Structure 1
Amino acid sequence: MIKVKVPATTANMGPGFDSIGMALTMYNIVYAEEIKEGLEIIIQDGNPAIPTNEDNLIYKTICHFYKSIQKPVPGLRIIQQDSIPHTRGLGSSAACIVAGLHIANAVSHSFFSKEELVQMAAQIEGHPDNTTPALLGGMTIGAMNEKDMKYVKARVAENLHFAVMIPEFTLSTELARGVLPTTVSLKDAVFNASRAALLTASMLTGDMDNLDLAMEDRLHEPYRMSLIPHMEEILQQAKCYGAKGTFLSGAGPTLIAVVKNVVDFRREMVSYLGSLEQNWQVQMLQADNEGAKVWINEELKY
């Protein structure tokens, strides 16, 4: 039996559109074992939106892996325990891709390195800011070309907490990308480049006083506000309650605030969000600095 535990991720961090992401202490757990033939997928939370056939993203990733090594896919039983909410901007699809690659790597006895899996995952998803931190943990800064992906991983300070504000409504990545412009001004490009550099340097050095400025964005957040009711007011209110920085998680609709005074912030934020109509939940998380883990027959492998 193979067990894979994959963290949630927040991508597009602040100005880091399609490039900067971070793993969070929220997890999907997937079990898999080889069977004589066929495919059996069990969704333990009973979510009807998750396919239990060949359209399942974990299984599709496994098929992609086996095609790359030119071997037939064996019969499989897959059991999913999903805690990462779907279509909320917390990397649920990336978690499936990472789980699928780890399962295929173990079942096929291919023994690809974690670095090789990082490259495969980025190519499958098309950008590195979800799958890379899901595999490696921490905050990752990545860039891709036609051949491969280069990245840097930074450990995130354990005294940083992330208030993850999740509404009951969903937002598809396709819709969220559809509102983005195809071109941006030089002024906005410089705006984001300077803040992405400041964000990276601040996280590497632990200088959290820069985050309010470093988290600013002009490439995607302004355009996606129309899809997320009260987004601007919520982020502003979070700063009034002491947030060091705020940003839209992935394509949304989840919003995140970086905080240190966890108890006071959560109390104030839960009270404020309770006055809104979208039934927001607040989860206080930290960064996962380790990334995905794999057990084979209950023995931790990596």
Structure 2
Amino acid sequence: MSAAVRTVEVRVPATSANLGPGFDTLGLALSVYDELEVSALDGPEIDIAVEGTGAAEIPTDESNLILRTIRYAYEAVGRKAPGIRIRARNGIPHGRGLGSSGSAVVAGLLAAKGLLEGVAAFSDADLLRLATEIEGHPDNVAPALFGGLTIAWTDDETPWHKKLLVHRGVSPLVFVPDRTMSTSTARSVLDPAVSREDAVFNVSRSALLIAALTQSPDLLMAATEDRLHQNSRAAAMPETDKLVRLLRAAGFAAVVSGAGPSVLVLADGPGRRLEALAVAEEHTSGSWQPLMLAVDFLGGTVKASAEGASSHEL
């Protein structure tokens, strides 16, 4: 077995995109994490081990997304990737609308950044661009990289983001089902066109949502209304739609998390979050795992440690 030349520790949060009306634009980092130890080896072999949520479903060969992302980053700066050892501890549920693939891409990029410290540099703009090239859109990778609430957009195919601090009264609650939904399936059921009325509706609600999340959590119910994607996806995930409607009828700002099938509640305080949990538990069969979370304000982190030296942030 080859020896490690350099080892980095990476931590990346889960994310929830869309947040109701902010389709493919808004994303929120949440306090569930994938944690990895990644080593560059002095030989060519690949050694991947995964534990935690969804570990049995994650490939440990050349098709592993984190490994492919590390190699992509090396190639982007004109370097040949070494042998890689990955030890992953996964906390982010897979296929549930919590940004697991985007977080894996961010983890791979941050690992490459740490392994290449002193050899090649990656700016925030570089990381967002590479992550978007791999993932296809920036709405999940932006909050995974930078934390907090992010607005993501593209200009001449270049991705950009703006990070905003979330009001301390916002208390996220996620209901995670025991079933999955692929993003491609969720996108395939979307209407190819929308009416001007619905477009204007969502523009107004997206603008209001920024104010609600950053300044006025009492506006979250109105701000999370949507006419672009959730109704179209309802038939593909009826239990998710039922739970969203149940919670909204009871006065809670519930939305589909990302492409689903998880449900995100943006409560306007810890007490209201407990009330939302009680309503859901009273009316559901127990097939939903509730996660009481915080907004992650830091985003993805990487620490590198040399032999005999203390860890330091990169």
TM-score, structure 1 length as denominator?
0.93
Give the partner amino acid of 2:39.
E
**Conserved? CA contact 2:51–2:89, under 8 Å:** yes
**Aligned equivalents of 1:48, 1:131: Cα separation in 2:** 24
1:121 correspondence with 2:127: no
Structure 1: gaps spanning 5 or more residues: none
The corresponding residue for 1:299 is 311
Identity %: 37
Counterpart selection for 1:208 from 217, 226, 231: 217
One of 11, 24, 27 as aligned partner of 1:21 = 27
Unaligned runs of 5+ in 2: 1-6
2:47 to 40, 50, 54: 40
The answer to whether the Cα contact below 8 Å between 1:19 and 1:127 also exists between their aligned partners in 2 is no
Does the 8 Å contact 2:221/2:251 carry over to 1? no
- The question of whether the paired residues in 2 share the 8 Å contact of 1:8 and 1:90 is answered with yes
Q: CA–CA distance in 1 between the matches of 2:63 and 2:243?
A: 36
Aligned to 1:108: 116
CA positional deviation for 1:250 = 0.6
Q: Which residue of 2 aligns with 1:167?
A: 177
Paired residues for 1:53-72 under 5 Å? 53-72=61-80
What is the deviation of 1:108? 2.2
Tell me the CA shift for residue 65 of structure 1.
0.9
Tell me by how many angstroms 1:157 deviates: 2.2
One-letter amino acid of the counterpart of residue 215, structure 1: T
- Indicate which of 289, 309, 312 corresponds to 1:281: 289
Cα RMSD between the aligned structures? 1.7
**Partner residue of 2:279 out of 268, 279, 294:** 268
- Which residue type is aligned with residue 15 of structure 1? P
CA contact (8 A) 2:125 2:160 kept: no
Task: Provide, for residues 20-43 of structure 1, a one-character-per-residue CA deviation record: whole Å limited to 9, x for no partner.
Answer: 000000000011011122111101
How many aligned residue pairs are there?
297
Report Cα offsets for 1:50-104 as digits up to 9, x if no partner. Answer: 0101111101111111111121110010011111011100000011100100111
Rounded Cα–Cα distance in structure 1 between residues aligned with 2:188 and 2:200: 23
Aligned pairs for 1:69-108 within 5 A: 69-108=77-116
Q: Counterparts of 2:242 and 2:189 in 1: how far apart (Å)?
A: 20
Offset from partner CA, 1:179-199 (integer Å, 9 cap, x none): 012211111111111111111
Measured in 2, the distance between the counterparts of 1:203 and 1:158 equals: 9
| 1:2 and 1:295 in contact (8 A); partners too | yes
